[in-house]
Amino acid sequence: MTSFPRRSIAAVLTAIVFVCGGIAYGQASTAAAPAPAPAQSQSLPGPSEVVKGAAEGMLKELDANRAAYKKDPAKISALVDKYLLPSFDVETSARAVLGLHWRSATPEQRKRFVDAFYHSLLTNYGAALVDFTADKLKIYPTNVDPSADRATVRTEIKRDSGDRVPVNYVMRKTPQGWKAVDVQIEGISYVKNYHNDFGAQIDQQGLDGVISRLEKGEKPSDINKTVEKTSK
């Protein structure tokens, strides 16, 4: 998996949990993915507005309670749940990460995996979100054809060095409105990367083995490094 400098993880984690957080707390349904929704109602926000609304809501609360969040970083989980989770197409993202392993996994395994993965990210990097501020995020407007059921929202996240990282949200129209299904950071799909990495891990260790290591707080990248060493 492509790695990012530790100093920039505060920025890119916002994008990561935007997708992975939605996977974690969704219902692991075995039904087929729903068909695209009809043309979007004028009363529903567009793709850019969905991303902007979620980000602004979280940043507003961070600004109002930043000292409290620094004192107790565990509260970040509740913040993510409140502002980011409603903006996900959970079913589509979860299926994409587990891939073929989704089909053979039991409902319990699906829930354990996505829950452990999400908490692993927040446990290892969640505190970095406390320092995320509005000036680090730029969201570009998105023009979408009324009949389209897919869209990409372009954003940029500024690193501490001043460099800007392109972060694109892949959105899907659902009956409930536009929801995120993937995040592309510097052109690299996070869902695809984790799909590839976890596929190799599960092949070697089994799904329960990978879940157990995530539940113990190991970073997904560290589990993958272990797999690479044992396969040589």
Domain ranges of the chain: 6-230
pLDDT at position 46 is: 92
CATH number (3.10.450.710, 3.30.1330.10, 3.30.360.10, 2.30.30.90) of 6-230 reads 3.10.450.710
pLDDT at position 227 is: 42
The vertex-117 CA angle with 205 and 180, nearest 5°, equals 125
97, 118 in Cβ contact below 8 A? no
pLDDT at position 59 is: 86
Q: Identify any residues that bridge with 179 across adjacent strands, giving them in sequence order.
A: 172
pLDDT values of the chain reduced to their tens digit, one per residue, 232 residues: 444 333 334 444 555 555 444 444 444 443 334 444 444 445 788 999 998 888 888 888 888 888 898 888 778 878 877 887 778 776 677 778 888 998 999 999 988 887 777 777 677 666 677 777 888 888 998 989 989 999 999 998 887 778 888 889 999 998 889 998 888 888 888 788 878 888 888 888 899 998 898 888 787 666 555 444 434 4
Rounded-to-integer distance, Cα 57 and Cα 168, Å? 19
pLDDT at position 108 is: 92
55, 130 in Cβ contact below 8 A? no
pLDDT at position 48 is: 92
pLDDT at position 33 is: 42
Q: How far is CA 14 from CA 78, 199, 204, in A?
A: 14, 24, 30
pLDDT at position 36 is: 47
